[in-house]
């Protein structure tokens, strides 16, 4: 009987922990010294890996992926990642393609342009067919919007066209990395469509709404994001080291004792997003916070 009670108690504890248990999303691709994609997924620390970036697309441009020192897309060198993507997915890690970035040449001129980009993404990275898939035959789980320039228009159109490719057997996940000032200047309208599954808000490089600007303003911002955006889950986006961003780094102790306890009660709390794998390697940040997320 005592054993049954102990077992029951441990199950209930697991359920209680599970309700608030979040995941960690990591950006990978912008530093050749950050380790392989397969190694990234083998750590067991991450639920999402965002491949950064596809920084050139739209407005009639030939889309081009940029994975820094990892591979050369101009010689089809990134197709070797296909087996690594599959190994990540076999471990239950969702692998996304991040479009945009802080530095890129991307722009949508119209809804028709958005449709053309969606078709390209479907055929070259998702479930469609193309003779020149940059990452080989692996089918990514979805598209991550990190739009920090170009235009404020037609991102909602792109989200609708991409979402239209979802089927009951294979969902196309849509995620986004807006800045914390609300609403996001570029994809604020797109986020209102309700088509985004996971939104990792960049609570860094934005002093008015990040934690270093004061707990009250940070909490107010978090509440605004979780109440106003119809996404499945909202993540706390952070730099993985003090040098990973201009500002916004939160020491592990502060994150686990102050920040996470303040936001984990939210029904939409999804976890933590980190920029990026290279900086996480330097600090071990994800390993330090994983049991608290």
CB 68 within 8 A of CB 31: yes
Residue with tokens 């919007």: 145
> 289 φ, ψ to 5°?
-105, -15
Helix (H, G, I), strand (E, B), or coil: what is residue 261? helix
Please say if 148 is a catalytic residue. Answer: yes
| Catalytic position from the list 84, 137, 148, 219 | 148
Distance CA 31, CA 278 (A): 6
Single out the residue of 275, 94, 116 nearest to residue 200, CA to CA. Answer: 275
CB 200 within 8 A of CB 237: yes
Cα distances (angstroms) measured from residue 32 to each of 25, 138, 149, 262: 19, 21, 25, 36
DSSP-assigned states of every residue in 148-208:
-SS-SSSHHHHHHHHHTT--SSS--EEEE--BSSSSPTTTHHHHTTS--SEEEEE-SS-TT
Within 13 Å, how many C-alpha atoms sit on residue 57's CB side?
25
Residues with a known catalytic role = 148
């Amino acid at each position: 009987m005592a054993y049954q009670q102990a077992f029951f108690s441990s199950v209930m504890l697991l359920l209680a922990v599970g309700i608030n248990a979040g995941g960690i999303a990591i950006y990978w691709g912008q530093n050749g010294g950050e380790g392989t994609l397969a190694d990234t997924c083998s750590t067991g620390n991450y639920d999402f890996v965002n491949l950064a970036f596809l920084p050139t697309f739209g407005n009639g441009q030939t889309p081009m992926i940029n994975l820094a020192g990892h591979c050369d897309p101009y010689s089809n060198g990134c197709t070797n990642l296909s087996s690594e993507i599959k190994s990540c997915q076999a471990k239950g890690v969702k692998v996304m393609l991040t479009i945009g970035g802080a530095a890129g040449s991307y722009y949508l001129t119209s809804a028709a342009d958005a449709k053309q980009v969606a078709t390209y993404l479907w055929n070259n990275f998702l479930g469609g067919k193309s003779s020149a898939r940059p990452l080989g035959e692996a089918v990514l789980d979805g598209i991550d919007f990190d739009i920090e320039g170009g235009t404020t228009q037609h991102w909602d159109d792109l989200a609708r066209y991409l979402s239209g490719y979802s089927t009951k057997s294979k969902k196309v996940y849509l995620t986004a990395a807006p800045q914390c000032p609300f609403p996001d200047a570029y994809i604020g309208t797109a986020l209102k469509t309700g088509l985004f599954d996971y939104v990792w808000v960049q609570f860094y490089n934005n002093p008015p709404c990040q934690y270093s600007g004061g707990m009250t303003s940070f909490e107010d911002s978090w509440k605004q994001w979780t109440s106003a955006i119809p996404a499945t889950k909202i993540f706390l986006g952070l730099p993985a080291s003090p040098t990973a961003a201009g500002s916004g780094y939160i020491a592990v102790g502060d994150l686990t004792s102050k920040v996470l306890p303040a936001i984990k009660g939210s029904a939409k709390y999804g976890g933590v997003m980190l920029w990026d794998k290279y900086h996480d390697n330097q600090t071990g940040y994800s390993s330090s916070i994983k049991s608290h997320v």
